[in-house]
Amino acid sequence: MREGYKIVKAPDAGGNVLYGLTKAAVKKAGLRKSLIGTKEEVLARAAKMNEKNRHFVMPTDKKANYTDHIIRDKYHCVEVNIRTERMKKAILFVFGGGMILGSDNGDIGLSRRIAKTTSHDVWFPYYPMCHEHDMLENVEMIFECYRKMLAFYKPENIVFLGFSSGGALILDVLTYINELNDGGENIPMPGLLIPVSPGSVPVTEKEKERLHKLDRVDIMIPASYMELASDIMKCGHDVPEKYLATAHGDFRNAPMTHFYYGSAETLYAFAPSYAESFRKAGAKCVIHVGKGMHHCYALQYFIPGCKKAFNEIMGLIITHESGH
C-alpha cells in the first residue's frame, strides 16, 4: 500500500444502457437544481421536502425487530435486528442529505437489507438537521449512538458505514474521538470504516479547482452547494473548521477505511485530501473509484449497474477481521 493508501477500480456500469437512461432520468428530476441558490432558498426547498415524509417514524412492519434508542434525551436511533437476539457484530449506518434533508422511508428498508445481507445488527440514527442545529451537534449525536453500541458490542466488531454527508459524519466522529482521548478519555475506535461519497468544505485552491472541473459532469451535487455548506453547517454558531473541512480532520488511530466514489461526481474532488490526511495520520485507506459513476452509486443497489459495487461493500463488511 503506497504511502498508507491506494486507489483501486470499483465496479461500474460500463456500457449498461439502463444505467445511462437512469442517469438521464435523475438529471431531469432536478435534484441538482434544488441545491442551487442562496442559503435561504436552498434551506426553504429542503424544509418543504422534509415536511412530506422525511422525519422519524418508528417501523411497524414484521420484516425485522426494531428498537428505538433515545439519544441525548431527544433524538432517535433505530436498531434493526434480523433475529430476536442481538448479533455479535453491528453497523452504525448514517444517511446523507447534505445536513439539510432528513431520512426518507427507504432508509430503514436499506438498513434491513444490509442487516440481512451481512448478518450484522444495524443501528440507524436520525441525527438533527442544520436548519436549527450545527454540524458539531450532529457529530456529538452520532458519537453518542456509538458510545451506546459499545455497551453491546466489542469495538472491533462495529463497522461505520455512511453515505454523502453521513460519510463525512462518520469521519468527523473519528476526529471527535481523538479530541476526547486527548482530553483524557479512552474511547476505542471501531473496527472498520466505509464512507461512500463523503464531502467536505473546500478550503484549498486545488480542492476548489477539482470541484469546479467535476461540476461539469455531476448530475446531482453542484459545486456551489459545497461552497455554501460551510455557512449552513455552522447554523450561526462557532464550529471548529476540522468538523466542516472533514477531509482535513484528525484520523490518528483510524481503522482500515474504504472510501467509495464515482469519478463523475463533484465530491470526488476531496479524495486526494482524504488520502493525504490519512497518510499524515499514519492510517491506512483504500479509495475505490467507479469510472463514470454518480454520487453515492455504490449503495444504490436498485439502480442498474450499481449492485456489484453494493455487493462489494457488503463483502468488505462480512469478511473484515477484528483489529486495526
pLDDT in single tens digits along all 324 residues of the chain:
556 679 999 999 988 999 999 988 888 888 899 999 998 999 899 998 888 877 788 888 989 999 999 999 999 999 999 998 999 999 999 999 888 888 887 899 999 999 999 999 999 999 988 898 889 999 999 999 999 999 999 999 999 999 999 999 999 999 999 999 999 999 999 999 999 999 999 999 999 999 999 999 999 999 999 989 999 999 999 999 999 999 999 999 999 999 999 999 999 999 999 999 999 999 999 999 999 999 999 999 999 999 999 999 999 999 986 544
User: Can you say how many angstroms the Cα of residue 12 is from the centroid of all Cα atoms in its chain?
Assistant: 20
Q: pTM of the predicted model, to two decimals?
A: 0.96
Task: Provide the residue range defining the domain that includes 90.
Answer: 2-319
> Does residue 99 form part of some domain?
yes
Is residue 324 in a domain?
A: no
Burial-class residue 97 by CB neighbours within 10 Å (0-12, 13-18, 19+). Answer: buried
Q: Is 70 exposed, middle or buried (0-12, 13-18, 19+ CB in 10 A)?
A: exposed
Q: Are strands 65-71 and 75-81 parallel, antiparallel or unpaired?
A: antiparallel
What pLDDT does 54 receive? 76
16 occurs within a structural domain:
yes
Query: What's the pLDDT score for residue 28?
Result: 85
Do the domain assignments include residue 254? yes
Count the Cβ atoms, other than its own, within 10 Å of residue 60: 6
The amino acid occupying position 60 is: T
pLDDT at 31: 83
Please give the pLDDT value at position 4: 67
Q: In what order do the strands lie in the sheet with 121-126?
A: 5-9, 285-290, 257-262, 192-196, 158-163, 90-94, 121-126, 75-81, 65-71
Q: What is the domain count for the chain? A: 1
70 part of a folded domain? yes
217 by Cβ neighbours in 10 Å (0-12 / 13-18 / 19+) ranks as middle
The CATH number assigned to the domain holding 282 equals 3.40.50.1820
Q: Are 192 and 320 in contact (CB under 8 A)?
A: yes
Provide the pLDDT for residue 295: 96
φ/ψ (deg, to 5) at 191: -85, -20
Give the up-direction half-sphere exposure of residue 276: CA atoms within 13 A in the CB hemisphere: 11
Residue 263 DSSP one-character state: T
Burial (CB count within 10 angstroms: exposed 0-12, middle 13-18, buried 19+), residue 77: buried
| Residue 36 maps to a domain | yes
CA atoms within 13 A on the CB side of 234: 15
